[in-house]
Amino acid sequence: MHPSIFSALVLVAVVAVCSYWVLQDAQARTEHHRPVVAVFLGFTIESPQTWAVLCLFVSVLFVPMYFVARRADG
């Protein structure tokens, strides 16, 4: 396998695993009545599924934002 293809597959796998973790974490926090909420460009992000999809497609921006919003909750 060509190294660049392998690198791309590894990157896709890391992003997918990270997004899955965000989904699981956000669902657990929502069940405990401590949802992770952030406002971005006037839109409120609070659904675990929304967090996971945003982290999957725009991980460079939304994964750090998730951690900041998560930490703000305590």
Residue 28: the pLDDT is 97
Give residue 1's pLDDT: 72
Q: What is the pLDDT of residue 23?
A: 98
Residue numbers in the chain where pLDDT is lower than 70: 74
- Give residue 50's pLDDT: 97
The pTM assigned to this predicted structure is 0.88
What does the pLDDT read at residue 74? 62
What is the identity of the amino acid at 63? V
Phi, psi (deg, nearest 5) at residue 69: -65, -40
Q: How far apart are CA 59 and CA 47, in angstroms?
A: 16
